[in-house]
Structure 1
Amino acid sequence: MVKKIGIIALAVLLGLGIWQHELVSYGWMQARGQLRIIANTEPVETVLANPTVPDSVKRKIELIQEIKRFAFDSVGLNPSESYSTYYDQGGKPILWVITAAPPYDLKAKEWSFPILGTFSYKGFFERARADSAVTQLKRSGYDTRVGEVSAWSTLGFLKDPILSSMTERDPGSLAELIIHELTHGTLFVKNSLEYNENLADFVGEYGALRFLAHRYGRNSREYTEYLESKAFSDRYDEHVLRGARKLDSLYRSFKPATPIEVKEERKWAMIGEIVQSVDTLSKQPLRRKRRWSKLNLPNNAYFVGYLTYRKQQNRFRQEFEQQFGSNFGRYLSYLKQTYPSL
């Protein structure tokens, strides 16, 4: 009987592997990449005791430990063993994320994964696999985008390491990043990526401001520079979101009989206007704009990325301030009780 059950189980697994070949292959690639990183991490104590590690790197590692403690003790995020190890990237990116959208619709393509649910992006530890996936999406008519990832969260299932690239960030950006990722480990709602990312962005920014005020003081250079950076980022976000709304209206105006040539001309003309008007946000030319050219304009995949991460910012801010009187402890408790988390 045991042998028979084993044969049946093996047959089921083989059948699943054939039926979901791409999913199994992708899962194996991701697991291999994650395990490779974990196998090559070092405890932060070892890194801090290593005389060959630059003092500047050690100071950032120590700062991350402070940020973690603050996130747990003062912000109220769930304790985690993440960022207790260090991984040296050797100056190379280690994870790429692809996003995609139809050519005349700001609706992100979604990928489904067991347990975790649906996501509007797909990560790759192998650049060649990411490029191959992008090529296939383009053949299917999608607008696509590939971006390097500076951090990710395994939602507490594994100990996420400090990546060497993190130590190149300024204190405000570093605090925002760490608290953002720790938020995912505290509250992550299945099949609600836009909610999850907007919440983590909101908590990351709120927590970073509180940490900087606690660590350096509200009159410090670190606090002031982060406020200025955040103010400009808010203006830029609103500019992109406003542009996305214009694009959405344009696409909705297209009729089934509208020629492709007309759609293309109007689409890229509007995107070009959005790019050109970026300079109105600052006295200095925007670095992001200089990366754009007539042959390399942002496409729908870029705009749906902003919709995913920033569209609901005002919702969280208004709830926090108006319904909970800016009491973050009460607000976080409410969120945990209201939304079931993985």
Structure 2
Amino acid sequence: MIKKILLALLGVCIVLGIWFHELIGYGWMQAKGQFRILWNTRPVEEVLADASFPDSLKRKIELIQEIKRYSVDSLGINPSNNYTTFYDQHGQPILWVVVASEKYRLAAREWRFPIIGTFAYKGFFEKDRADQELNALKQENYDTRLNEVSAWSTLGFFRDPILSSMLKRSEGQLAELIIHELTHGTLFVKDNLEYNENLADFVGEYGALKFLTQKYGANSPEALGYLDAKQYGEKYDEHILRGTQKLDSLYATYNLQTPNRVRESKKWQLIDRIVETVDTLKTRPPVGKPNPKKRRFTQQNLPNNAYFVAYKTYRQQQNRFRREFEEKFNSNFNQYLTYLKKTYPSL
């Protein structure tokens, strides 16, 4: 009887292995990449005591500890063991993310993973594997984009390390990044990537400005410089999101009778106009005349739908969070975050 049960279990395992072989292979590859990094980290205390490690970078590591304490004490972020270790990338990228969208609809290709749910991107610790995925998606007629990633959150499953590439960031950018990732570890809703990323962006930017204001003062160069850069970024975000609405409207006019050459021509003409008109955007810095924003693409290297769909994933709900925070909670962040934790089930 026991032998029959064991044989039945073995049969089930074989069937599941065949059925989910791709997912199992991907999970194994990601686990290897993650453990390779974790195995080669050093405790922060050891790095700070290392006489050969540059003092300028030690100050950035100490700053991360300060940002983390502020996040827990003043913002209500959950305490964790994240950023208590350090990983030296030796100047090399270590993680790439593949994003894909339908060619004539701003609809992201999605991947489903056990426990954590559905994602509109797929990460790789091996560049060759990322390129293979990218080429396969192109063969399936998707618009694609490959991005290098400077940080990620394991949602509390592992101890997220400080990456050496983080230390190149300015104080404001570093605070925004750390608070963004710590927010994922505090509140992450399954199967709602757009909500998670928009929330982490909102909290990261709000927290970074508050941190700089508390540390240096509201009128300090550090706080005003970060606020200036943030305003520039918001103008660009608004412009790109308006562009996504125009693209949605254009694609809605397509039908089965629309020739592909017409679809392609209209699509790229509109994207070209979106990119070209970035130069007309102006924002006013704290002191001085308005400055034009600079385009991030050239007419020879235009972004495709994968770029625009990523903006919808990360930035589309910013105004929703801001209004809810200001109008319903009178800009009391601790109350707002407490409400979000109670309202939305988190992993």
1:118 paired residue number = 118
Query: Does the alignment pair 1:191 with 2:191?
Result: yes
Cα distance in 2 for partners of 1:288, 1:72 equals: 35
Question: Which consecutive residues of structure 2, in runs of 5 or more, have no partner in the other structure?
Answer: 283-290
Cα distance in 1 for partners of 2:84, 2:322 equals: 31
Trace 1:101-250 onto structure 2 (pairs within 5 A). Answer: 101-250=101-250
The structure 1 residue matched to 2:319, chosen from 309, 314, 330, is 314
2:48 paired residue number = 48
2:288 paired residue number = none
User: SS at the partner of 1:145?
Assistant: strand
2:310 paired residue number = 305
Render the CA deviation track for 1:50-93: whole Å, top value 9, x for unaligned: 11111111010000000000000100000010000000001010
Query: How far 1:3 sits from its partner (Å)?
Result: 5.4
Q: Which amino acid aligns with 2:225?
A: E
Conserved 8 A contact 2:280-2:293: no
Conserved 8 A contact 2:198-2:314: yes
Q: Which amino acid aligns with 1:150?
A: S
2:265 paired residue number = 265
Query: How far 1:4 sits from its partner (Å)?
Result: 4.9
Render the CA deviation track for 1:184-238: whole Å, top value 9, x for unaligned: 0000000000000000000001110111011122122111110000000000000
Conserved 8 A contact 2:276-2:295: no
Change (3 A) 1:189 1:225: same
User: SS at the partner of 2:98?
Assistant: strand
User: SS at the partner of 1:181?
Assistant: helix
Q: Which amino acid aligns with 2:224?
A: T
User: CA RMSD for the aligned pairs?
Assistant: 1.2
Conserved 8 A contact 2:178-2:204: yes
Change (3 A) 1:90 1:276: same
Cα distance in 2 for partners of 1:313, 1:167 equals: 27
Cα distance in 2 for partners of 1:33, 1:115 equals: 19
1:286 paired residue number = 294
Q: Which amino acid aligns with 1:33?
A: G
2:62 paired residue number = 62
Query: How far 1:8 sits from its partner (Å)?
Result: 3.5
Conserved 8 A contact 1:198-1:308: yes
Conserved 8 A contact 2:188-2:196: yes
Conserved 8 A contact 1:134-1:144: yes
Conserved 8 A contact 1:175-1:204: yes
Cα distance in 1 for partners of 2:346, 2:243 equals: 33
TM-score (norm 1): 0.97
2:336 paired residue number = 331
Conserved 8 A contact 1:232-1:281: no
Cα distance in 1 for partners of 2:15, 2:211 equals: 52
Query: How far 1:284 sits from its partner (Å)?
Result: 5.0
Question: Which consecutive residues of structure 1, in runs of 5 or more, have no partner in the other structure?
Answer: none
Query: How far 1:15 sits from its partner (Å)?
Result: 2.0
Q: Work out the percentage of aligned pairs sharing the same amino acid.
A: 64
Q: After alignment, is 211-220 or 101-110 more displaced?
A: 211-220
Conserved 8 A contact 2:278-2:295: no
Change (3 A) 1:158 1:2: farther
Query: How far 1:314 sits from its partner (Å)?
Result: 0.3
User: SS at the partner of 1:136?
Assistant: helix
Query: How far 1:280 sits from its partner (Å)?
Result: 1.3
Q: Which amino acid aligns with 2:174?
A: L
Cα distance in 2 for partners of 1:137, 1:151 equals: 24
Cα distance in 1 for partners of 2:167, 2:190 equals: 31
Q: Which amino acid aligns with 1:189?
A: V
Conserved 8 A contact 1:42-1:85: yes
